Homo-oligomer: A and B are copies of this chain.
Amino acid sequence: MSVRQNRQVRLKSRPSGIPQAEHFEIAAAPPPEPQTGEFVVRNRYLSVDPAMRGWVGAVANYAKPVGLGEVMRARAVGEIVASRHADYRVGDTVVGWLGWQEYALSDGRGIIRRVKETDIPLSAALGVLGMNGVTAYFGLLEVGQPKPGETVVVSTAAGSVGSAVGQIAKLRGCRTVGIAGGAEKTRLCREEFGYDAAIDYKAAADLDAALAAACPGGIDVYFDNTSGAISDAVLRRINKRARIVICGTASLASWDPWPSGPRVERHLLVKSARIEGFLVFDYEDRTEEAVAQLAAWVREGRLRYREDVLDGIEAAPDAIAGLYRGENLGKRLIRLA
């Protein structure tokens, strides 16, 4: 390994809401050198995720906040280029918590899995076979528990998680209804991801009426990536024993202090319904089970995915803000040379 430097994206200041380009800086560190029990990964793709907003916030989240000056926490996939670790060899491809940087030093603890699907593009290890696909798989199947014939509604339905949720629900025999913003995303929902109906919430004059039309039998499962007005409208139309999976809260600008909304208790009571939060990290030890099924569906052409690939580490600082501007169609990744 003869690397002259390791460029890293570090957290420069702490945003109160959505992290912008100005909250990060790109800096060069010396190339990492593995000690005994360590190895070095050359990252090929860096992941960009809506959840990153929570990881850099000052408010306690499900994970310790990224410290100021630290490399931005991120999943990445790459090849091992140097190793003094007995279990990891040069040439192995791994995915894990390798950070927004060109080269990552690891002792194996942040590694999630070895990538063995050589017939599927490497980038998929961060999306449909990575956090997004695994989130869709366990969030829908374990928490949502859809049954054949039920109606499943998904918000951010064309996104990297939502599009997988819709397709998996369809594979389970459900009627699927996607909610997305804009004509292009709703077209993708119908034509690419097989939703039975898609609602453009930005164009709908009356979201309640649009939901009623798309869900004549009510709503049994709601996979919620947004919270806010979309979720409130869905909630009003749930069936008895409905299951609502809270996977994301993209529509909320801030949650400190907690925003206000309609109280759900009475409605949950009369419907014997459930709202449950889902974190994919709770299922990390079952990752292989999900990836095996997801990869099989991808190979069979039954699970499609879109990617939005940005080139070069210079694209990273603004990449999260871009997600919240809604500029991507599909899983956002940063490709390194």
Tell whether, in the assembled complex, residue B268 and residue A272 are in contact, meaning their CB atoms are under 8 Å apart: no
Contact segment of A158-166, A177-185, A248-256, A291-299: A248-256
**What residues of B have a CB within 8 angstroms of the CB of A271 in the complex?**
62, 277
- Is A324 interfacial (CB 8 A cutoff)? no
| Residues 250-289 of A at the B interface (beta carbon under 8 Å) | 252, 255, 258-279, 282
Question: Is A264 a contact of B262 with CB atoms below 8 Å?
Answer: no
Q: Which residues from B are CB-within-8-Å of A264?
A: 264, 275
**Docked-complex contact A265 and B231, CB < 8 angstroms:** yes
Q: Are B263 and A258 in contact (CB under 8 A)?
A: yes
Interface residue? A247 (CB, 8 A): yes
- CB pair B61–A265 under 8 Å, yes or no, is no
Q: Quick check: B265 and A224 within 8 Å, CB to CB? A: yes
| List of B residues within 8 angstroms of A145 by Cβ | none
Question: Given that A231-B265, A275-B264 are contacting pairs, would A54 and B270 also be in contact in the complex, using a CB cutoff of 8 Å?
Answer: yes
A273 neighbours in B (Cβ, 8 Å): 276-277
Inter-subunit contact B269/A277 (CB<8 Å):
yes
Q: Is the CB of A268 within 8 A of B275?
A: yes
- Give me 6 other A-B pairs in contact (C-beta within 8 A), A227-B263, A255-B266 excluded: A246-B268, A252-B263, A265-B275, A270-B279, A272-B278, A273-B277
Answer whether A269 and B248 are a contact pair too, CB < 8 Å, given A264-B264, A274-B275: yes
A224 to B260, CA, bound (A): 20
Q: Do A274 and B276 touch (CB < 8 A)?
A: yes
> Are B246 and A269 interface neighbours, CB within 8 A?
yes
What are 10 contact pairs spanning A and B, CB under 8 A? A62-B270, A227-B266, A231-B265, A246-B265, A249-B269, A259-B262, A265-B275, A265-B277, A267-B277, A273-B276
When distances are taken between beta carbons in the complex, the residues of chain B under 8 Å from A277 are: 265, 267-274
Closest residue of chain B to A256, judged by CB?
B266
B258 contacts A260, C-beta separation under 8 Å? no
A299 to chain B, nearest CB (A): 31
In angstroms, how far is the closest chain B Cβ from the Cβ of A281? 9
**Bound CA–CA A200/B105 (angstroms):** 55
A37 to chain B, nearest CB (A): 31
Nearest-Cβ distance from residue A10 to partner chain B, whole angstroms: 24
* Nearest CB in chain B: distance from A162 CB, A: 16
